[in-house]
Amino acid sequence: MSPVVKLRNVHKYFGALKVLEGVSFEVERGGVAAVIGQSGSGKSTALRCINALETIQDGTIEVCGHAVGDPKLDRRALRQDVGIVFQSYNLFPHLTVEQNIMLAPTCVKSIGKSEARDLARDVLAQVGLSEKAQQYPEQLSGGQQQRVAIARSLAMQPKLMLFDEVTSALDPQLTGEVLKVMEDLARGGMTMILVTHEMAFARKVASQVIYMHKGQVWETGPGSMLDAPKTPELANFVGSGL
């Protein structure tokens, strides 16, 4: 089985600041990779490079058959295959939940409104928010808004989903709502890469944990590696309770 995502010796600089220094990892189809590490370790930058939101200086990234570093990369095609959900929900406040979800399928994929509405209903059911279709974002809790953001990405029927610390602004109860949706996606076979501080979720759901430290992949393995770190850096990170 060929990997859906493959990073090889990826380097990323912001001026003189080295953010990624030779990052390499792969994610198989249906795999769930949890990327963990301290703030500033390069986790979110790596995620943004996968979706071509940042340009790398060296190395290669292949995602769903796209060569991300190729100057001829079709970013529109890449982003139809790769959904990304951020910490901030980025919902349009003047549109209903249903309209927020219908927007990309109709504008980007030229799907008819009737089909897009059916699609919106399907993905809202998937995240447990069928009854919220006609409400506006301000009428929803933070957890509900984040689930709508996930549904909006699912409506594009991506091959890969990226999650960038999507629960970090939520209280524990709302965090649980969002993590359940992500767990259901994993169970359904969605290939996912998530930057997270939720260690219990990483242990339970991730098929692969990638610990980043100082812009490098420091340690990688199954979720059980969090119970028996091989490096003092990971042991300190896990022991800090983060």
Q: Which domain holds residue 211?
A: 3-89+160-239
CATH code for the domain of 193: 3.40.50.300
Neighbours of 242 (CB within 10 A): 13
Tell me how far apart the alpha carbons of residues 164 and 194 are, in angstroms, rounded to a whole number.
Answer: 6
The total number of structural domains in the chain stands at: 1
Instruction: Provide the terminal-to-terminal Cα distance of the chain, rounded to the nearest Å.
Output: 34
Q: What is the mean pLDDT of residues 74-85?
A: 93
Sequential DSSP letters for 85-107: E-SS----TTS-HHHHHHHHHHH
Q: For 126-182, what is each residue's pLDDT tens digit? A: 999 999 999 999 999 999 999 999 999 999 999 999 999 999 888 888 899 999 999
Q: What are the CA-CA distances from residue 125 to residues 8, 29, 122, 208, 222 (Å)?
A: 38, 24, 5, 28, 31
Does residue 198 sit in helix, strand or coil?
Answer: coil
Which residue do the tokens 């939940």 mark? 97
- pTM > 0.85: yes
Task: Let me know if residue 62 belongs to a domain.
Answer: yes
Q: Which helix (H) or strand (E) holds 146?
A: helix 142-154
